[in-house]
Structure 1
């Protein structure tokens, strides 16, 4: 029984290490996705600014034209463009934070401020990778330790929960049957 518990603890530790080791890779794929989103948003923003300038308007003036339109469609288009500008700035800030963060910290940057759409799409298309850099090995080590501790705690709790059953069985077996 003791050998089985050790094997389970080791398996949990290895699984924890494998799971945690993927955090830096997920952050890398997330950062790449942000780059692609920023490229596409920049195209839309450039087209908007070019059209506005062609008509003698700055960005804010063009947005004001949308806002003051009696047409609901045009007001909605203005709101859409405001959202695009805001999303671009948000993703640009997060990309900058990811670039400046050290490798082991990047997963925390993603978790702290993840863009819901980018996070969901990264998760959907995520491809696991073997971590051979310091960050991947650090996260793998942390996951190994976390898995080891979790298995130890679970084993301790389960051992305590089954102790009364074993004690009662031992008493019944020790009591002579008449």
Structure 2
């Protein structure tokens, strides 16, 4: 009886959980676009400052790096980090935009997703009533597989008779 309840629980959890994955991918994609936009604004502000001083972005960063003031040197490190992050986020966005299916988007997020953005998306993600049938079916299958693996891992116990004797099958 408990085994059947465990199977039902795994199948339902797998189906509902997996059917939420495309929605999660869309939420991540939106968050990625917002993060990229914000980083781009900061890099553009530094580029505008550099242009006003007759320099390019890298030259301004180098000027800050050579300053005697530790706060100004720290700004150079932040400038470089922002430019690097912009590149990483832009590449992730390009890969997600090129992914033809929800499954491809999820694979891309799993392989190349920004850890901070994935955590932030997970922390604010809310399960929706929208269920994706293909992913739901895959989740049901995964639930069955987990149930089968758990059954083979733990094996079946022999049932004993009410008197405590183990039932044995007689050879034919």
Q: TM-score range by the shorter chain?
A: 0.7 to 0.9
Give, in whole Å, the separation in 1 of the partners of 2:70 and 2:166: 81
Question: Does 2:136 align with 1:140?
Answer: yes
Unaligned 5+ runs, structure 2: 168-172
Give, in whole Å, the separation in 1 of the partners of 2:25 and 2:97: 11
Change beyond 3 A, Cα 1:43–1:94: same
Tell me: higher relative CO, structure 1 or 2? Use CA pairs within 8 A at least 6 residues apart: 1
Corresponding residue of 1:166: 160
1:152 to 131, 148, 151: 148
Q: TM-score, normalised by structure 1?
A: 0.83
CA RMSD of aligned residues (A): 2.2
Unaligned 5+ runs, structure 1: 173-178
Please tell me whether the aligned partners of residues 25 and 102 of structure 2 are also in contact (alpha carbons under 8 angstroms).
no
Corresponding residue of 1:92: 90
Shift of 1:21: 1.3
Change beyond 3 A, Cα 1:107–1:76: same
Matched residue count? 165
Q: What SS does the corresponding residue of 1:169 show, helix, strand or coil?
A: coil
Corresponding residue of 2:14: 16
Q: TM-score, normalised by structure 2?
A: 0.86
Give, in whole Å, the separation in 2 of the partners of 1:127 and 1:7: 26
Residues 89-144 of structure 1 show CA distances to partners (whole Å, capped at 9, x for unaligned) of: 10110011111112222111111112122111111110222445xxx322211110
Please tell me whether the aligned partners of residues 18 and 138 of structure 2 are also in contact (alpha carbons under 8 angstroms).
yes
Please tell me whether the aligned partners of residues 10 and 148 of structure 1 are also in contact (alpha carbons under 8 angstroms).
no
Please tell me whether the aligned partners of residues 22 and 103 of structure 2 are also in contact (alpha carbons under 8 angstroms).
yes
Residues 26-76 of structure 1 show CA distances to partners (whole Å, capped at 9, x for unaligned) of: 111011001111111111111111111001111111011011112211111
